[in-house]
Amino acid sequence: MENRTLPSPQYDRSTLVTRCVHLGFGAFHRAHQAVYADILATDHHSDWGYCEVNLIGGEQQIADLNQQARLYTVAEMSADGWTTRVVGVVNQALHAQVDGLEAVLDVMCQPQIAIVSLTITEKGYCHSPATGQLMLEHPLIVADLKQPQQPVSAVGVIVAALARRKAAGLRGFSVMSCDNMPENGHVTRNVVLAYARAIDPALASWIESEVTFPSTMVDRIVPAVTPETLQRIAEQTGVNDPVAVACEPFRQWVIEDNFVAGRPEWEKAGAELVHDVLPFEEMKLRMLNGSHSFLAYLGYLAGYPLINVCMEDANFRATARALMLNEQAPTLKVKGVDLARYADSLIARYENTALAHRTWQIAMDGSQKLPQRMLDSIRWHLANGSDWSLLALGVAGWMRYVHGVDEQGEAIEISDPLKAEIAAKVAQSEQGEARVTALLELSAIFGHDLPQNPAFVKGVTEAYLALLDQGARAAVGKYAAML
């Protein structure tokens, strides 16, 4: 493959002004928020540019991006073919551990910086998923509180930058989470203020009055980049691009319009600016992400490596749709949305054979995902006396998955920030009812209410025993037969 340079976008990149600093230059950001910015620059003469920052990991990613003049390729994948665009809105790319934290803080303290956005995954907020509060005992937070001038965590870096802006007499900026959490702006505000109070209550008060934390709902399926993906993109474009990313054609962004220092005109690129994002967040987290997790755990156990392969099993397809409409949709507050049509659109997206979205990838970090994707809905059903049997099967699927050995006796590579705690509960309990009891002791996931609720314990235990007795494929089939 010819290793030539990427073509420049149609707009004049020299006119871009770095107004956004983004923490977490991962695949999702490259395929989502940066694409919106690129559309605005291409079609609407926007001058909003990005400084991309990785704090922990991804050193080569930043080096590769800088090596190719901060350009990279986004490929939209469908069964009919792939289409590509070169994104050029990145003005600067830094790594805190390579370029130094000072370089990162210097950019964040430039007067024109209006937004600091985040895609650091749920675990990057150092919070308890069950409560949404900052975990002061989190190793990164403990270390940062000892040396607040040399932070490592995203929370610590944001507060350090804001402290410098306050000292310099500069205005605050908006901190915008683009991670899959309900009320992600509120979570971000909570952890930032809790950390700031632990350092300097006066700084925390300034942040409360000078900084906004808009919530967002983001949606685009972006599978992990593989060598095969990069090769396919290179064959199509004639350029080897190690920073390239591939995604589905669909994209959605709902944003709370609450910015203290201005924002791009995202609505011109198809985003929705609203006063309350939560109903949209819950719809997406429960119907899309909840069914994704359901398919990930049970599909992996059934021997299905990809989501589109799960869709080839009529029972998995039927139970995923029933989970969305029968058990997740009733818990939602969103208005004016045809939820049956939304569910059907999700199934159609899951069928996209070009995506090759691995069940193992979606199964990662389950301890951070279960509360908002399944457990909050279960709480609603327990309060309303309605059926949640598929949600119970999903939770049981996670419990069976974190056993660490699949139904064929092969090891499962568990990737989770609570991996050690989960492994300890597995090791100290016998397979069966005792395993459920042990895992329910993880209050960071299940809180204190659910393990004390007899109906919850009974429902999850019955589903777990069904998985042990029948296997995932047969268990899903049995549930499907009852629909």
- C-alpha 291/C-alpha 295 separation (Å) is 6
Topology at the third CATH level for domain 278-481? N-(1-d-carboxylethyl)-l-norvaline Dehydrogenase; domain 2 (1.10.1040)
| pLDDT value for 1 | 41
- C-alpha 364/C-alpha 306 separation (Å) is 14
Tens digit of each residue's pLDDT, the chain (483 residues): 445 689 989 999 999 999 999 999 999 999 999 999 999 999 999 999 999 999 999 999 999 999 999 999 999 999 888 999 999 999 999 999 999 999 999 999 999 999 999 999 999 999 998 888 999 999 999 999 999 999 999 999 999 999 999 999 999 999 999 999 989 999 999 999 999 999 999 999 999 999 999 999 999 999 999 999 999 999 999 999 999 999 999 999 999 999 999 999 999 999 999 999 999 999 999 999 999 999 999 999 999 999 999 999 999 999 999 999 999 999 999 999 999 999 999 999 999 999 999 999 999 999 999 999 999 999 999 999 999 999 999 999 999 999 999 999 999 999 999 999 999 999 999 999 999 999 999 999 999 999 999 999 999 999 999 999 999 999 999 999 998
Tokens at 375, concatenated: 């457990």
CB half-sphere exposure, 333, CA atoms < 13 A? 8
| pLDDT value for 480 | 96
Nearest to 38 by CA among 102, 79, 85, 78: 85
pTM comes to: 0.92
Determine the 3-state secondary structure of 77 from DSSP. Answer: strand
Dihedral angle at the C-alpha atoms of 379, 424, 427, 439, nearest 10 degrees?
-10
> Which CATH architecture does the domain made up of 13-274 adopt?
3-Layer(aba) Sandwich (3.40)
Q: For the chain, which residues make up each domain, given as ranges?
A: 13-274, 278-481
Tell me if 468 sits within 8 A of 432, measured CB to CB.
yes
Which amino acid does the sequence have at 107?
V
DSSP 8-state secondary structure symbol assigned to residue 261 = S
* Residue with token string 């420049």: 8
| pLDDT value for 4 | 61
- C-alpha 292/C-alpha 250 separation (Å) is 16
- C-alpha 271/C-alpha 418 separation (Å) is 34
Other CB atoms closer than 10 Å to residue 83's CB: what's the count?
12
